[in-house]
């Protein structure tokens, strides 16, 4: 497909379980971003990759959150020992070039995570 | 932390009406972006404004960046039902040129 693809679209997990969310960026896009969007809120930055290098993880809320992009393409966001407050939509975005000002970020449709 | 406040939070209007939504900050932004997000989908970029005082038009949508680059507005003329969605403003923050800070958005409903 031409756009950013995220899977699964919906994920329900019990509190304490581990989850893994996948992002397929647009082919050739160097930069990849993860955001968390709680209900009724705007997206909040989690982490940023340039190719396979994770250059910024300042937005990850705790050490239970881990992201990787080992080959500089597909990325996985993993949440360990999930808590109810982790329930949110997780958005992935990619942009063409190295992070320069005003580079448009193309968003996927997100994974809606519900923790019971 | 640079915050973006959007108002109103909710707006419900009839088709054909005009409307303006606002994005304000106490901080200066090098640029601001406007996105529209529909239910179950990711945000889609509408426009980026860079220069203080800049006005950009996209069909029936007019975007303005404040002279001091602390605020922006989006005006929609003759709203259509297809304009329904969450309008988000965002800008680079934290001294980076990639880390976007988003406002909470204005949820617009255009009724037929």
The pLDDT, as a whole number, for residue B96 is 79
* Res A99 pLDDT > 70: no
Residues 1-60, chain B, touching A (beta carbon < 8 A) = 4, 30-31, 33, 40-45, 48, 50
* Res B1 pLDDT > 70: no
Q: Is A2 left (phi over 0), alpha (psi -120 to 50) or beta?
A: alpha
Buried b (16+ CB within 10 A) or exposed e, B55-64: ebeeeebbbb
Strands B85-92 and B100-102: antiparallel
User: Residues A81-108: what's their mean pLDDT?
Assistant: 88
Residues 68-97, chain B, touching A (beta carbon < 8 A) = 88, 90, 92, 94, 96-97
Give B46-100 pLDDT, tens digit per residue.
999 999 999 999 999 999 999 999 999 999 999 999 999 999 999 998 777 788 9
The three-point CA angle B28-B30-B31 to 5° equals 110
Residues of A in contact with B41 (CB under 8 A): 109-110
Q: CA-to-CA distance for B110 and B13, rounded, in angstroms?
A: 5
The pLDDT, as a whole number, for residue B49 is 94
Contact across the interface for A100 and B97, Cβ inside 8 Å: yes
Three-state secondary-structure class, residue A116: coil
Strands A111-115 and A10-13: parallel
Instruction: State both tokens at B90.
Output: 């965002």
User: Residues A53-65: what's their mean pLDDT?
Assistant: 95
The pLDDT, as a whole number, for residue B45 is 95
Cα A20 to chain centroid, rounded: 10
Residue B104 has its nearest CB partner, among A33, A41, A100, at A41
């Amino acid at each position: 497909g031409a756009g950013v693809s995220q899977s699964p679209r919906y994920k329900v997990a019990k509190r304490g379980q581990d989850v893994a969310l996948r992002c397929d960026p647009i082919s050739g896009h160097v930069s990849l971003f993860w955001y968390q969007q709680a209900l009724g809120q705007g997206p909040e930055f989690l982490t940023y990759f340039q190719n396979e290098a994770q250059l910024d993880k300042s937005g990850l809320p705790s050490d239970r959150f881990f992201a990787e992009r080992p080959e500089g393409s597909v990325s996985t966001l993993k949440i360990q020992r999930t808590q109810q407050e982790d329930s949110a939509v997780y958005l992935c975005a990619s942009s063409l070039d190295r992070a320069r000002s005003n580079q448009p970020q193309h968003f996927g449709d997100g994974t809606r995570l519900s923790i019971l | 932390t640079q915050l973006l406040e959007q108002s109103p939070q909710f707006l419900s209007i009839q088709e054909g009406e005009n409307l303006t939504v606002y994005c304000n900050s106490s901080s200066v932004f090098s640029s601001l972006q406007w996105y529209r997000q529909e239910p179950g989908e990711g945000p889609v970029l509408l426009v980026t404004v860079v220069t203080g005082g800049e006005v950009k038009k996209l069909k029936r949508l007019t975007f303005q960046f404040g002279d001091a680059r602390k605020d922006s507005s989006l005006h929609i003329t003759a709203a259509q039902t297809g304009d329904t969605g969450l309008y988000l403003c965002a800008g680079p923050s934290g001294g980076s040129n990639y880390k976007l800070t988003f406002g909470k958005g204005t949820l617009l409903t255009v009724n037929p």
